[in-house]
Structures are given as C-alpha cells and as structure tokens.
Amino acid sequence: NHSEAALKKAKARGERYLFFDKSMTDRVAGNLTLENQLRQARINDEFVLYYQPKRSLVSGKVTGAEALMRWNNPKTGLVPPNHFIPVLEETGMIHEVGRWAVRQAIADYLRWIDAGLEPVRIAVNVSPLQLRNRGFVGEIEQLISVDQRAAAGLELEITESMVMENIEHGIASLQAIRALGVHITLDDFGTGFSSLSHLSRLPLDVLKIDRSFVLDMAKGPDGMAIVMNIITLAHSLKLNVVAEGVETEEQSKLLRLMKCDEMQGFLFSKPVPVELFESDFLARAAGV
Ligand code: C2E
Ligand code: MG
Ligand code: MG
C-alpha cells in the first residue's frame, strides 16, 4: 500500500512530506503473497470479463456469450482463471468477486440494450462455494433487481459436482433462481459423476458437452456414439445442447449432423474483451 510505505519511509527519515517512490512500492509488492495481490486486485478493479460467443449450428447466428474472468495484472499481464480462482475460493474472496462478475455482466447487457445493439444472454460461471451459500438466491435476486430486463440477460453455469454436494439444497436454489427468469446451464457435462436419475431432477435450460467429448469424436465410432447419446439425452429432457471447445470445421459439421443446437470454441472465436465483443458480434448482428 502506497501511503503506508511512504509514511514509514518518511518517518524513518524524519521528512515532513510524503511522496511515492516507484522502487519502494515495487519492493513492497514483491513481498505480497498471491492472496494479498488478489485482495489488492479487487480494490484496484483489475478483474475483467472476456466474452466468448456461442453460435447456433442451425442459423449460424450468435445466440449468447460466456463471461470468462481474467485478472488484468498490471505487472504480468492477463492471468487466466485457473491460476487465481482456486485462491479466491480458498480465501472466501470468491463470494465478493463472483458477485462482481454477475453485476458486471448485467451492466454490460443493459448497456447493449441502451446502445441499440442486439443483446444476447450472458452466461456467468458460478463456484460451488457460491451455490452452497444460503444467501446466494437472495443475492441473485438483488443483483437482477437493478432493472426489470436484467433477468432475461443472465444465465448461470454450474457443474454437476456443485449440485451433488447437497442435492436437495442445490435443486431448491436452482428452482428459485429459474423462477426469477434466469437460465441455468450444466457446464462440463460428462466429466463429473453424472447420475442420470439426478440429471432429470435438475432444473436446467442448457447442457454443455465437455470439450473432451468433442475431441474424442475424431477418435472413432465410440467417441461419436457418446456425443450422439448426450445430445439425444439432453433433447429428451427438453434441454438446449451446446458443444464446448469446438476447434475444427470437421467437429462443427459432425455436431450439426448430430443435431447439436449450438457451439462454442476457438473455431468461431476465442474469448475477447467486451469492446471487441460488442463491435465484432453485437453491432454486426444489429447492423449498426
Ligand atoms: P469453463 O467454464 O468450462 O470455460 C471454458 C474454457 O474453455 C475457457 O477457459 C475457454 O477460454 C476455453 N475454451 C473455449 N473454447 C475453446 C477451444 O476451442 N479450445 C480450447 N482448448 N479451449 C477453449 P478459461 O477462460 O481459461 O476458463 C477456465 C475455467 O475457469 C472455466 O471453465 C471456469 O470453470 C472457470 N472460470 C472462468 N471464469 C469464471 C468466473 O467468473 N467464476 C468462476 N467461479 N469460475 C470461472
Ligand atoms: Mg463455463
Ligand atoms: Mg466448460
């Protein structure tokens, strides 16, 4: 912290005036643990949302976007979520930062409407710790209360293990959230201990096929059969199916043939900063 470092130095020297000295703050920062850096990052507003578009395999149109968090560290550059989300979870900071992500996504969505862009629903990833929290539903309710149009712009991505930890509480929470008009997506489907009897009880709108299954399609008939069956299963439960991690034309072609509804992946677009998402995907769709 600038002022503390300056104050200590000034006191030590008996100086009357405080000033910041770059080498001094660098030294202090160098001693900070990742945890402290993340606390500071929150204060300095260094977390950002990148948006990755989803595309209909039928119409080719952009159907939505996933918000993916990055830490814009001024010293080292963009840090991917796998490097800091676990620490946010260990320290409990995930509640505050997770709340920020939902608030930011809603603000972006409302801004798109006001700017005359064709808005798409934004999917925000939720940590198991958030969903387990007794106050989570109320929190979502409060966050969407800023505008009556907000709920239609929000989708929450959860994973199977998240719900399985306490299935009754999980189902009740998801039902309450869905009743608000917010959509629920089951992320990374197939990677957890998928229980089909539980799956049918979950209040869901979308099922996302994990990237690993999309990759396995190329490996032969077994890989194809699994994806085909996941799609059939999802449709029988009246869920929209999104394939994750689509990187090749071949994968996208196969998925279209298998009646998968949407795709997301580097083939269409990598996650991009919000300004780029607006100009490249929303403005074009709206013909602005
Ligand atoms: P996820 O929700 O399954 O997100 C998909 C990840 O796959 C993203 O990585 C995305 O950049 C990457 N991806 C997308 N298309 C492709 C592709 O074609 N090929 C490959 N190889 N990868 C692709 P990212 O952004 O690094 O996020 C990793 C994970 O971090 C996410 O997995 C999610 O679990 C977590 N995460 C991200 N943002 C948040 C957040 O705001 N809150 C929480 N709790 N977790 C988050
Ligand atoms: Mg996700
Ligand atoms: Mg995923």
Instruction: Give the tens place of pLDDT for each residue, 208-220.
Output: 999 999 999 989 8
**Ligand 1 atom nearest 82 alpha carbon:** 30
Q: Are 82 and 122 in contact (CB under 8 A)?
A: no
Q: How confident is the model at residue 196 (pLDDT cuts 50, 70, 90)?
A: confident
Say whether pLDDT at 15 is over 60. no
Question: Which residue's CA is the nearest one to ligand 1's atom 4?
Answer: 68
pLDDT at 165: 78
> Does the pTM exceed 0.85?
yes
Say whether pLDDT at 19 is over 70. no
Q: Which of 42, 90, 125 to mutate to test the pocket of ligand 1 (most atoms within 8 A of CB)?
A: 125
pLDDT at 261: 98
Say whether pLDDT at 179 is over 80. yes
Q: Which of 54, 55, 66, 68 to mutate to test the pocket of ligand 1 (most atoms within 8 A of CB)?
A: 68
Instruction: Please tell me the distance from the alpha carbon of residue 87 to that of residue 38, in angstroms, as a whole number.
Output: 8
High-pLDDT (> 90) share of the chain, %: 79
Q: What is the mean pLDDT of residues 17-33?
A: 56
pLDDT at 167: 87
Radius of gyration of the chain (CA): 22
Say whether pLDDT at 39 is over 60. yes
Residue by residue, DSSP assigns 171-210 as: HHHHHHHHHTT-EEEEEEETSS---HHHHTTS--SEEEE-
- The amino acid present at 164, given as its one-letter code, is M
pLDDT at 287: 79
The number of angstroms, rounded, from the C-alpha of 260 to the middle of its chain's C-alpha atoms is 22
Q: Is the dihedral of CA 168, 157, 206, 247 positive or negative?
A: negative
Q: Are 129 and 95 in contact (CB under 8 A)?
A: yes
Say whether pLDDT at 66 is over 80. yes
State in Å: Cα 28 to ligand 1 middle: 32
Q: How confident is the model at residue 184 (pLDDT cuts 50, 70, 90)?
A: very high
Question: Which residue's CA is the nearest one to ligand 1's atom 41?
Answer: 69
Ligand nearest to the CA of 68: 1
In the chain, beta strands by DSSP E: 47-56, 62-73, 77-79, 121-125, 154-159, 183-189, 206-209, 240-243, 262-263, 272-273
Q: Are 24 and 9 in contact (CB under 8 A)?
A: yes
Say whether pLDDT at 162 is over 50. yes
Say whether pLDDT at 113 is over 50. yes
Q: What is the mean pLDDT of residues 258-278?
A: 98
Q: Is the dihedral of CA 276, 282, 189, 134 positive or negative?
A: positive
pLDDT, tens digit (0-9, with 9 covering 90-100), for 130-161:
999 999 999 999 999 999 999 999 999 999 88
Q: How confident is the model at residue 33 (pLDDT cuts 50, 70, 90)?
A: confident
pLDDT at 30: 46
